[in-house]
Amino acid sequence: MSKPFIVACIPALNEENTIGYVVRRTLKYVDRVIVVDDLSMDNTALFARRAGAWVIRLKKRRRVGGVIKAGISYVKRLNPDVVVILDADGQHNPDEIPKLLNVVLEGHADWVIGSRYLHNVRNFTSHNWVGNWFFRQKKNIFLKGLGNWFFSKLVSVLARHYITDTMSGFKVLSREAFYNLDLKFDYAYCPEMAINLCLEGYRLSEVPIQSRTRLKGESKVVINVLPYGVKQLGIIFFTYLRKSIWEFSKK
């Protein structure tokens, strides 16, 4: 069997301090790295190229969902066998890529989420549940941690698959799952992806990862927590209704 062609897609916005490190470490485990630059105002694109990435610079600023959609559209032209998605800020450790890759390459799942919480759930004990809960949130503010928990529970119900970390941006997808992705929104994409792929019947697995604090800078995804949550709810229910109508029309 020929060696699979593996491509990594990294969305980036003003991450000049970390992008070079992330690209170099990722290239140890994949054949090509595509950085999708969301009109960064710093040297993100330059440092990504110097580190060995192919850079797509968007023509207008989009949210992370739109950046991922643009990356998916481009990566499909490369005809990859497996696709890795991870963040540019260093919170995802590229050296953990093989843990996720092996699940797909060995045929155990069609796509994999790197879960920040799965390890702690497996080691959960009733006598220290308060300490476990706060440890799982790590440096997330309270509302953000609570939101991650809530959306994981909600998406688990709608997707008919228990997911501990729906909002994780660290993923690996098989060729089949990747080519059948049909994302509609330019906002945060993780719940939409989970509902789409799970209801399409693609096998999901989660692998515990060690999420790190950002090496530099601040998160650009969640600035105002409550409006973000309201928009996420709309996306989740619209996606579920769309998939439900599509399933009904096939019968």
CATH code where residue 233 lies: 3.90.550.10
What is the structure's pLDDT at 147? 77
Return d(Cα 167, Cα 130) in angstroms, integer. 22
Per-residue pLDDT at 69 exceeds 60 = yes
- Average pLDDT (73-92) is 96
CB neighbour list of residue 183: distance below 8 Å, 6 or more residues apart: 65, 68, 69, 72, 189, 192, 193, 196
Domain that holds residue 237: 6-250
**Taking the model in full, what pTM does it have?**
0.85
What percent of the chain clears pLDDT 90, i.e. is strictly above it?
A: 68
Domain assignment of residue 1, yes or no: no
Distances in Å between the Cα of 116 and the Cα atoms of 93, 113, 213, 229 are 11, 9, 12, 20
Task: Please provide the average confidence, as pLDDT, over all residues in the chain.
Answer: 86
Per-residue pLDDT at 128 exceeds 50 = no
The listed range with the strongest mean pLDDT (35-39, 115-119, 187-191) is: 35-39
Domain total of the chain: 1
Domain assignment of residue 102, yes or no: yes
34 neighbors 71 (Cβ within 8 angstroms): yes
The predicted-structure confidence for 16-52, as pLDDT tens digits, reads as follows: 999 999 999 999 999 999 999 999 999 999 999 999 9
99 neighbors 206 (Cβ within 8 angstroms): no
Domain assignment of residue 202, yes or no: yes
Within 10 A of 127 (CB to CB), how many other CB atoms are there? 7
- Average pLDDT (134-140) is 47
Return d(Cα 202, Cα 7) in angstroms, integer. 20
State whether residue 37 is helix, strand or coil: strand
Return d(Cα 235, Cα 185) in angstroms, integer. 8
Domain assignment of residue 178, yes or no: yes
Domain assignment of residue 103, yes or no: yes
